[in-house]
C-alpha cells in the first residue's frame, strides 16, 4: 500500500456521516466505546447530556469527544478518572468544546488521560514550567513558592539561633527576606542601672558597592519570659551596618532603618518600620553586614544580664553595582 493511499484512506475515514473515524453518538446515558485509533465522537445533547467513557482496553489509543450540537451540557463520566488525581467528571458547556484523550497502561490497568481540551472544566495537574507565555490568562488560584529564587550573587544569612533567609530576584535585583523565630538578643546588665544595649547580625552582603533599594521590618520583641527586664520598659531599635559602641544608636548603627522608639506592653512590642530612601554602601574592601540594634533605657534591665526574643521578618531589596 502506497503512502499516498494510506493518507487518502485516513482522510476518507472522517467523511461526514459515513467515515469509520467518526464514532456514532450513543445517545443520552450511553457509553462511548472507541473501536479504532484516532476516532472522534461528535455528541448531540438534544436528547440528554449524560455520557460515559469506559476504561480503554489497550494503551496508545488516541481519541476525541466533541460537543457538536448543544442541546444541554454534556456531562462526561470517565470511568476510573482522566488524570492522576482520579477526577472523573468533565462538563462540555458549548458547541465546539472538546477533549482529546490518550490511553495509557498503569501497572496492569488501562486508563484514559486528557491531553488537550478547549472549553471544558478538565482539571489540570500541577506542573513545573521554565517559561509560560500567554496573551491572556484567567487564574483562579495561584500558589508560588519562593518565586524567582536566585542563587547568583547572593550574600550570606547569619548563623544565629532561629535565623533563616530566602533569596528572591533575577540575579541583578535581589530581595533578601530574613526570618527570625525567637532569636535571642542578649542584653547585659550595667551597674548603676545605666542604659544598656544588644545586637544580632542578620546578613552579610557580597563584596561590592551595594545599592539598597529598600528595607522593611515587621518584627516583635518579647521580654515577658525574663524577670530581669521590665515588662513596661522602653528603649529604641534600628537596623544598621554597624553595632553601637555605647548605649546610643547613631550613624551607621541606623543606616538601614532609622532608630525607632519601643515600649513594652506586658513584655511585648511590635517593631515595624522602613528605610525612607535608597542608599549606596561601599563594601568593596569589606563586605557590609546588616545588624539588628537594641537600646534599653535606664532601669529596664534590673539585676542581671537578660535575653529578649526577636521574631518576624526583615526584608532587604538591593543591587550589587560591582566590586573594584
Rounded to whole angstroms, the Cα distance separating 122 from 74 reads 13
**Which class for 133: exposed (0-12), middle (13-18), buried (19 or more C-beta within 10 A)?**
exposed
Rounded to whole angstroms, the Cα distance separating 121 from 99 reads 10
The CA-based angle 12-13-15, given to 5 degrees, is 60
Instruction: Tell me the per-residue pLDDT of 5-34, one tens digit each, with 9 for 90 and over.
Output: 777 777 887 888 778 899 999 999 999 999
Q: Which long-range contacts (CB under 8 A, 24 or more apart) does 280-284 make?
A: 280/209, 280/210, 280/211, 280/212, 280/321, 281/205, 281/209, 281/210, 281/211, 281/212, 281/241, 281/255, 282/209, 283/205, 283/206, 283/207, 283/208, 283/209, 283/210, 284/207, 284/208, 284/209, 284/323, 284/324
Q: What is the CA radius of gyration of the chain?
A: 33
More confident residue, 179 or 1: 179
Q: How confident is the model at residue 53, as a pLDDT?
A: 98
Answer whether 300's CB lies under 8 Å from 267's CB. no
How do 22-23 and 40-44 pair as beta strands? parallel
Q: How confident is the model at residue 132, as a pLDDT?
A: 67
At the topology level, CATH places domain 3-118 in Jelly Rolls (2.60.120)
Q: What percent of the chain shows pLDDT beyond 90? A: 74
Average pLDDT over residues 253-281: 96
The CA-based angle 96-98-100, given to 5 degrees, is 150
Average pLDDT over residues 207-232: 95
Q: What percent of the chain shows pLDDT beyond 70? A: 90
Give residue limits of the domains in the chain: 3-118, 156-320
Rounded to whole angstroms, the Cα distance separating 54 from 79 reads 5
Q: What CA–CA distances, in Å, run from 286 to 141, 214, 254, 291?
A: 45, 21, 18, 15
Instruction: Tell me the per-residue pLDDT of 165-214, one tens digit each, with 9 for 90 and over.
Output: 999 988 899 999 999 999 999 988 876 667 889 999 999 999 999 999 99
Q: Do domains 3-118 and 156-320 have the same CATH topology?
A: yes
DSSP single-letter state for residue 278: -
Instruction: Tell me the per-residue pLDDT of 58-80, one tens digit each, with 9 for 90 and over.
Output: 999 999 999 999 999 999 999 99
The residues that bridge with 291 in the sheet, in sequence order, are 201, 240
Q: How confident is the model at residue 220, as a pLDDT?
A: 98
More confident residue, 246 or 201: 201
Q: How confident is the model at residue 18, as a pLDDT?
A: 74
The CATH class, in words, for 156-320 is mainly beta
Rounded to whole angstroms, the Cα distance separating 279 from 175 reads 15
Q: How confident is the model at residue 141, as a pLDDT?
A: 64
**Which class for 200: exposed (0-12), middle (13-18), buried (19 or more C-beta within 10 A)?**
buried
More confident residue, 180 or 300: 180
Q: How confident is the model at residue 206, as a pLDDT?
A: 96
Is a pLDDT exceeding 60 seen at residue 315? yes
Is a pLDDT exceeding 70 seen at residue 304? yes
Rounded to whole angstroms, the Cα distance separating 279 from 285 reads 18
Q: How confident is the model at residue 32, as a pLDDT?
A: 97
Answer whether 193's CB lies under 8 Å from 270's CB. no
Those residues whose C-beta lies under 8 Å from the C-beta of residue 5, and which sit 6 or more positions away, are none
Is a pLDDT exceeding 80 seen at residue 238? yes
Q: How confident is the model at residue 129, as a pLDDT?
A: 61
Is a pLDDT exceeding 80 seen at residue 38? yes
Instruction: Tell me the per-residue pLDDT of 149-162, one tens digit each, with 9 for 90 and over.
Output: 666 799 999 999 99
Q: How confident is the model at residue 246, as a pLDDT?
A: 85
Q: Is the Cα dihedral 120, 125, 126, 128 positive or negative?
A: negative
Instruction: Tell me the per-residue pLDDT of 91-146, one tens digit each, with 9 for 90 and over.
Output: 999 999 999 999 999 999 999 999 999 999 998 766 666 666 667 766 666 565 54
Q: How confident is the model at residue 142, as a pLDDT?
A: 59
Rounded to whole angstroms, the Cα distance separating 21 from 26 reads 15
More confident residue, 4 or 54: 54
Amino acid at each position: 500500500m502506497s503512502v499516498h493511499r494510506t493518507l487518502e484512506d485516513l482522510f476518507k475515514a472522517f467523511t461526514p456521516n459515513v467515515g469509520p473515524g467518526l464514532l456514532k453518538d450513543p445517545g443520552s446515558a450511553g457509553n462511548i466505546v472507541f473501536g479504532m485509533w484516532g476516532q472522534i465522537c461528535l455528541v448531540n445533547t438534544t436528547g440528554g447530556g449524560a455520557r460515559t467513557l469506559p476504561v480503554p482496553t489497550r494503551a496508545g489509543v488516541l481519541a476525541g469527544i466533541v460537543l457538536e450540537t448543544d442541546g444541554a451540557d454534556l456531562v462526561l463520566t470517565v470511568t476510573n478518572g482522566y488524570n492522576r488525581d482520579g477526577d472523573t467528571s468533565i462538563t462540555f458547556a458549548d458547541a465546539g468544546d472538546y477533549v482529546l484523550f490518550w490511553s495509557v497502561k498503569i501497572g496492569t490497568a488501562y486508563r484514559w488521560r486528557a491531553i488537550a481540551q478547549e472549553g471544558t472544566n478538565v482539571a489540570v495537574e500541577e506542573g513545573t514550567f521554565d517559561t509560560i507565555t500567554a496573551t491572556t490568562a484567567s487564574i483562579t488560584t495561584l500558589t508560588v513558592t519562593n518565586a524567582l529564587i536566585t542563587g547568583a550573587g547572593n550574600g550570606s544569612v547569619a548563623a544565629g539561633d532561629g535565623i533563616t533567609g530566602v533569596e528572591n530576584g533575577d540575579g541583578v535585583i535581589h530581595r533578601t527576606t530574613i526570618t527570625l523565630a525567637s532569636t535571642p538578643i542578649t542584653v547585659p546588665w550595667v551597674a548603676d542601672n545605666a542604659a544598656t544595649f544588644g545586637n544580632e547580625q542578620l546578613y552579610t552582603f557580597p563584596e561590592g558597592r551595594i545599592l539598597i533599594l529598600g528595607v522593611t521590618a515587621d518584627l516583635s520583641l518579647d521580654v515577658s519570659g525574663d524577670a530581669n527586664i521590665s515588662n513596661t520598659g522602653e528603649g529604641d531599635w534600628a537596623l544598621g551596618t554597624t553595632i553601637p559602641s555605647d548605649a546610643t544608636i547613631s550613624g551607621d548603627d541606623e543606616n538601614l532603618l532609622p532608630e525607632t522608639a519601643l515600649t513594652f506592653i506586658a513584655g511585648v512590642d511590635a517593631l515595624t518600620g522602613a528605610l525612607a530612601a535608597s542608599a549606596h554602601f561601599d563594601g568593596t574592601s569589606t563586605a557590609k553586614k546588616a545588624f539588628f540594634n537594641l537600646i534599653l533605657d535606664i532601669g529596664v534591665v534590673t539585676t542581671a544580664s537578660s535575653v529578649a526574643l526577636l521574631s518576624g521578618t526583615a526584608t532587604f531589596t538591593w543591587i550589587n553595582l560591582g566590586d573594584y
